[in-house]
Each structure stands twice: as structure tokens, then as C-alpha cells.
A and B are shown apart, each in its own frame.
Chain A
Amino acid sequence: QVQLQESGPGLVKPSETLSLTCTVSGDSVSIGGYHWSWIRQPAGKRLEWIGRVYNSGSTNYNPSLKSRVTISLDTSNHQFSLKLSSVTAADTAVYYCARVLLVPSGYNWLDSWGQGTLVTVSS
């Protein structure tokens, strides 16, 4: 059974870069049929999809964050990572990593999630 675990600093200063890593166990990040996503949730607000990385390494990002986001895959360490630059207080949120299940018909959904990690942006 796949497990995902986020790691990284819980406090980031304004204007700096937020960096998180998701470690995947029980599965390979390069396996076909899946890709890998980051989602965040500010306190009391809705979930916001940040972006995805395919097992090929190609990516898609939320247009609202695209200029500041980089998601990458590290197949040798069974990890994928998130970098969000020039952060402000508005980026304070619980950040989740998740696995996306793809089916041949084109449908896909988030079928496994990490527990989430709170990142606070403050000086």
C-alpha cells in the first residue's frame, strides 16, 4: 500500500522560497498509470490544486501560481518536490502531496494523500 509523507520547513520568511519534499513508499514514482500532485489548503478555506508532475517528468501548474512554482521528480529517491518562490502570508497553508490514479479512459483522481504539513509564512 502506497504511503506519502511531506517534509520541509514549517516556517518560511516572506519573499523566500518554500521547499517541500514528498517521499513515496510502497510504490515507484516512475510507475505508469500514476502521476503526482501538490494541493494546499489555507485555514478554513477550500483545497487549491498547485500542480502535477508526470512519471516522465513533465509538469502542469495552476495558472494562478505558475510563475512561482516548480514541481520535480526524483525517481532514484522515490520523491517529488515543490518549490514556491517569493512567498507571502497568503501562501500560509497546509500543503498536501498526493498520488493521482489515471485510467485509460482519461479519468483521474487523487487516490492517496500524505498527512499534510503546515507551512507558515512569517518574519
Chain B
Amino acid sequence: DIQMTQSPSSLSASVGDRVTITCRASQSISNYLNWYQQKPGQAPQVLIYMSSTLQSGVPSRFSGSGSGTDFTLTISSLQPEDFATYYCQQSLSTTWTFGQGTKVEV
């Protein structure tokens, strides 16, 4: 299986901060990389697919980049509703795998 590793596992930030989360794949996945946001008690929701394409309706303060094995999710100016856990997920292989998550908290 392709292993996905996120860093950090958690971070503390304030409203207005720029936040960057990284995701590393154990082998090259081209840009078959998706990002999801999960709030407590809710299902995840896709934010970005194909590494850098913003899902319809997702605010433009979210952006993604990367290719191969290294990827980043950036929130340009953190808003109160952005405090959540973020997961990366690879869709190159038949067996999908997720990162361990990054919890963004105050």
C-alpha cells in the first residue's frame, strides 16, 4: 500500500493566520491527491482534488499544491469555521489510503 504521512499532526493557530499542512506519499502518486476537511461529529468533505483543484463552493483561501510525493494544503487566512481536522488521500492505487490527519485548533 501507498503510505500517506501528514505533518504536523496538530497545530495551534489564530484567526487570520496562514496555515500550511504537508502530506508525503511513500511513492510517487503524480497529482492523485485529495484533501478533506472534517469537523467534529461530521463526515469529511472534499476541499481539493487532483492536488490543486478547488471543489465548487470551497472558499478561495484554501489552496493545494504539489506533485510526486510532496503536497501542501494552505489556508491563507484562517477563519473560525476552519478549525477542523484535515486529511490527505491518494487515489492513484486501487487501494486508497489516507493520511493520519492534521488537527487545526486554537
Contacts and interface: CB of A to CB of B under 8 A. Distances in A.
Counting contact residues on chain B (CB < 8 A from A), the size range is 20 to 34
Nearest to B43: A113
Interface class of chain A by DSSP: strand
Contacts of B98: 46-49
Nearest to B42: A115
A117 to B, nearest CB: 11
A97 B34 CA distance: 17
Interface in A93-119: 96, 98, 107-111, 113-116
B81 interface: no
Contacts of A114: 43
Contact of B43 (A46, A108, A116): A116
Interface residues of A, number: 18
B62 interface: no
Interface in A10-39: none
A110 B100 contact: no
B83 interface: no
A56 interface: no
A98 B44 CA distance: 10
B34 A49 contact: no
B67 interface: no
B99 A46 contact: yes
Interface of A: 46-49, 60, 62-63, 96, 98, 107-111, 113-116
Interface of B: 1, 32, 34, 36, 42-46, 49-50, 55, 87, 89, 91, 94-101
